[in-house]
Chains A and B, each alone.
Chain A
């Protein structure tokens, strides 16, 4: 599904290297987690994959089902099946959540050569999915993320994911700012989307989220590289001992 080889990235306009050769393969249907200390490059990886400005790829490749991601515009990557759940979802005053969702769903369908969803079908689908995530009609009507609590914003991210039905989902610290109940709700939303044809890359600081979204593989990232990969037990090791031991091993 997602294949990253030797990816090196600098901050644009600054002589600062962030990713220093990332190798990562996420096969179809699997959930992989990336953990790592602050500043290790986790969020940068998610931004570079989804096409945010401000980063210069200096080497390596990233492909989604064999298609070169790095050459595409952000909207093309989305239509190809990539989805990033933002750590800080952006507030957009004046654009209704429903308008935003319908525009996004239909733009992707159009880009893939599919028919647009009718207003009725769209409404039916969004209502059912919103209900599962306990998103009420008022939240759907309000401007995108404006006045939403931290938990509501993250639930709204998962709703978008559910509506857009991507193949490859990247969750960037989706657990940050969530209380236990909200985290469970979000995790249930993610788990409901798990399927053979869909993969997840879950970026998190804490093992806690991985109690709810069980990963197949855990990667530890530090200094712009994946320094260790293993099973779910690796996350527990981090939770108990911190990153110090792993970083020492690397050195």
Chain B
């Protein structure tokens, strides 16, 4: 079958599913997204944007089942004070969730979206904007097909963090969620996400950060080995506003996290960071970042660290686009991998495209092994090889974890990384 024909068949198969029921404005948004998918076609391996990550299992009509991981009774962020909203196999579970009322924000289920008319004109719009200059058909598919999610309208200083927890019960569940977060000028919100979500989990998050608002996002993607995930974060950032996002990924057969940020107002800040760790050739993790600077005096940072062993594969595609007139831009990008053996691979594609003449942009990418001198130093003090390797691996990841402003959240994730490294030490 020719390439275009294969793409059409796959796209038609996914679009054959009926759109979720909902109010008229939402149906319009979903139908528009479905039309975008039909026009673009779903990705195939030959596409430049999918060169290092095979999209076949994300695109296929049926999800590959993934064994449920027996997790302990200490899920991520359990010690953090937050309004916890639980989705089980992609469906909101009110009995396990906290009362979604909190000061400074209103939270509505996407499935009850009649009550959230503010989201009309926003839902699907940031995703649609993010289709240029690079097509992201899987994101449009998620907008079209997601039956549930949360709509968060932040109108003040959110009194507590909101924690979205994605649990699994069905080993074969195929889930799409769509979230919209709108921060009005000068407001703040911390949003946490955790869990594997489903055998195949797709999620969109559109975040509109108005002038002077601050959005903190920290997530821990679940440890189920067979899970497949593709997430898209689309954000539009106003003047003097701050957007910060950190992702910890542990295990997973396939993770593709796209983060598309557009800085629209002067003196804004956009930071995106991640730490991922994988053991074995069934691990594939891809961070794909696109940041557009379209305002003066803004700062962006991308800090990504990956620890790979036993044939694990890590991918980083990061682009900084500085538009004409976006003077005094400060853009920084670093992607690094620690390869714990000769079998693992890290593929990095940093890109800069700059149309302003008074900017400071830097990017770097490295792959390396454990520093033998440091290892010997620790061992010469009596620290066993295994413990020393764990310490040095945490030390490698520390720069990424430092991107988390909240110490309690950083400590929570650091402990989980230490636990993983301990379980996977050789």
Residues of A within 8 A of B (CB): 50-53, 73-75, 77-79, 83-84, 86, 89-95, 99-100, 103-105, 107-108, 111, 143, 160, 164
Q: Count chain B CB atoms within 10 A of each CB in A75, A79, A95, A104 and give the residue with the most.
A: A75
Q: A74-B376, A89-B377, A100-B391 are in contact. Are A94 and B382 (CB under 8 A)?
A: no
Nearest residue in B to A47 (C-beta to C-beta)?
A: B376
A74 near B380 (CB under 8 angstroms)?
yes
CB-based nearest B residue for A86 = B377
Chain B residues with CB under 8 A of A104: 378, 381-383
**Residues of chain A lying within 8 A (CB to CB) of residue B102:** none
A75/B384 in contact, CB under 8 A:
yes
Instruction: Report the Cα distance A53→B370, complex, angstroms.
Output: 14
Q: Shortest Cβ distance from B140 into chain A, in angstroms?
A: 40
Q: Cβ of B373 < 8 Å from any Cβ of A?
A: yes
B380 touches A100 (CB 8 A): no
Is B382 within 8 A of A100, CB to CB? no
Residue of B374, B385, B387 touching A90 (CB-CB under 8 A): B374
Report the separation of the CA atoms of residues A74 and B398 in the bound assembly, to the nearest whole angstrom: 26
Decide yes or no whether B7 CB sits under 8 A from chain A. no
- In the complex, what distance in Å separates the CA atom of A140 from the CA atom of B399? 19
Asked if B397 CB lies within 8 Å of chain A CBs, one says yes
Q: How far is the CA of A222 from the CA of B382 in the complex (A)?
A: 31
Shortest C-beta distance, B185 to chain A (Å), equals: 37
Cβ–Cβ contact B398 & A53, under 8 A: no
Chain A residues closer than 8 Å to B391, beta-carbon distance: 92, 95, 99-100, 103
CB contacts under 8 Å to A, within B341-358, are none
Residue of A nearest to B376 (CB): A52
CB distance from A172 to the nearest CB of B (A): 11
Residues of B in contact with A (beta carbons under 8 Å apart): 371-374, 376-385, 387-388, 391-392, 394-399
User: Does the CB pair A94–B397 fall under 8 Å?
Assistant: yes
Q: Are A95 and B392 in contact (CB under 8 A)?
A: yes
Can you report 26 A-B residue pairs in the complex whose CB atoms are below 8 A from each other?
Answer: A50-B380, A53-B376, A73-B385, A74-B376, A74-B379, A75-B384, A75-B385, A78-B380, A86-B377, A86-B380, A90-B371, A90-B373, A90-B374, A92-B374, A92-B377, A93-B395, A94-B394, A94-B395, A94-B397, A94-B398, A94-B399, A104-B381, A104-B382, A107-B387, A160-B381, A164-B382
Can you name the residue of chain B whose Cβ is closest to the Cβ of A108? B382
B387 touches A103 (CB 8 A): yes
The residue in B377, B387, B394 that gathers the most chain A C-beta atoms within 10 A of its C-beta is B377
Chain B positions within 8 Å of A93 at CB level: 395, 398-399
Residues from chain A with Cβ under 8 Å of B380 in the complex: 50-52, 74-75, 77-78, 83-84, 86
Q: B401's closest neighbor in chain A, by CB?
A: A94
Q: Which residues in A have their C-beta under 8 angstroms from that of B387?
A: 103, 107
Whether A75 contacts B383 in the complex (CB less than 8 A), given A89-B377, A90-B373, A92-B374, comes out as: yes
Interface centre among B371, B387, B395 (most CB of A within 10 A): B395
In whole angstroms, what is the CA distance A34 to B164 when docked?
Answer: 64
Contacts of B384 in A (CB 8 A): 75, 107, 111
Nearest opposing residue in chain B for A88, CB measure? B373
Closest A residue, CB atoms, query B398:
A94
Shortest Cβ distance from B372 into A: residue: A53
Chain B hits for A52, CB < 8 A: 376, 380
> How far is B385's CA from A3's CA once the two chains are assembled, in angstroms?
26
Identify 17 new A-B residue pairs, CB closer than 8 A, beyond the known A95-B395, A160-B381: A53-B376, A73-B385, A74-B376, A75-B382, A91-B374, A92-B378, A92-B391, A92-B392, A92-B395, A93-B395, A95-B391, A100-B381, A103-B383, A103-B387, A104-B381, A105-B382, A111-B384
CA–CA, A64 and B228, complex, Å: 55
Chain A nearest CB, measured from B419 CB (Å): 16
Give the distance to chain B from A29, nearest Cβ to Cβ, in Å. 23
Min Cβ gap A93→B in Å is 6
A90-B374, A92-B377 known; A107-B395 Cβ under 8 A: no
In this complex, which of B372, B384, B396 has the most chain A Cβ atoms within 10 angstroms of its Cβ?
A: B384
| Chain B, Cβ-Cβ closest to A111 | B382
Alpha-carbon distance between A108 and B384 when the two chains are bound, in angstroms: 9
Q: What residues of B have a CB within 8 angstroms of the CB of A99 in the complex?
A: 391
Which residues of chain A come closer than 8 Å to B381, judged between CB atoms?
A: 78, 83, 100, 104, 108, 160, 164
Q: Please measure, in the bound complex, the distance between the C-alpha atom of A86 and the C-alpha atom of B382, giving whole angstroms.
A: 14
Closest to A101 in B: B381
For A92, list chain B residues within 8 Å (CB): 374, 377-378, 391-392, 395
Bound CA span A77–B380, Å: 8
A104–B395 Cα distance when bound, in Å, is: 16
Nearest B residue to A80 by beta-carbon distance?
B382
Question: What are the residues of chain A within 8 A of B385 when measuring CB–CB?
Answer: 73, 75
**Contact of A78 (CB < 8 Å), options: B382, B392, B395:** B382
Task: Name the distance in Å between B404's Cβ and chain A's nearest Cβ.
Answer: 14
User: How long is the Cα–Cα vector from A191 to B417 in the complex, in angstroms?
Assistant: 42
Counting chain B CB atoms within 10 Å of each CB, which of A51, A89, A99, A104 scores highest?
A104
Q: Which residue of B lies closest to A95 (CB)?
A: B395
Return chain A residues, CB-CB under 8 Å to B373.
Answer: 90
Q: A94-B397, A107-B384 are in contact. Are A75 and B379 (CB under 8 A)?
A: yes
